[in-house]
Amino acid sequence: MKYLLKNLGILFIIAAVVILGVYAINSYTDNIYLIISMLLLIGGLFVHIILNRKVEE
């Protein structure tokens, strides 16, 4: 469980990159995918920093 918590931020960032890739390939006209990926990137960065300070192996 600790291993999953330590890598939760990285998983958020990877999910954001996948969403950005889908957005670039399909060339959608709405910006909701960009907003979701931005929130996942920022949230993933903060989650990674905070959880790596708190969770020790």
Question: What does the pLDDT look like over 3-46, one tens digit per residue?
Answer: 777 888 899 999 999 999 999 899 788 889 899 999 999 999 99
| Residue 40 contacts residue 4 (beta carbons within 8 Å) | no
Which tokens sit at 30? 């709405």
| pLDDT, position 42 | 94
pTM over 0.75: yes
Who contacts 52 (Cβ-Cβ below 8 Å, separation ≥6)? Answer: 6, 9
Task: Check residue 36 and give its pLDDT.
Answer: 93
- Name which of 51, 53, 38 is nearest 9 in CA terms: 51
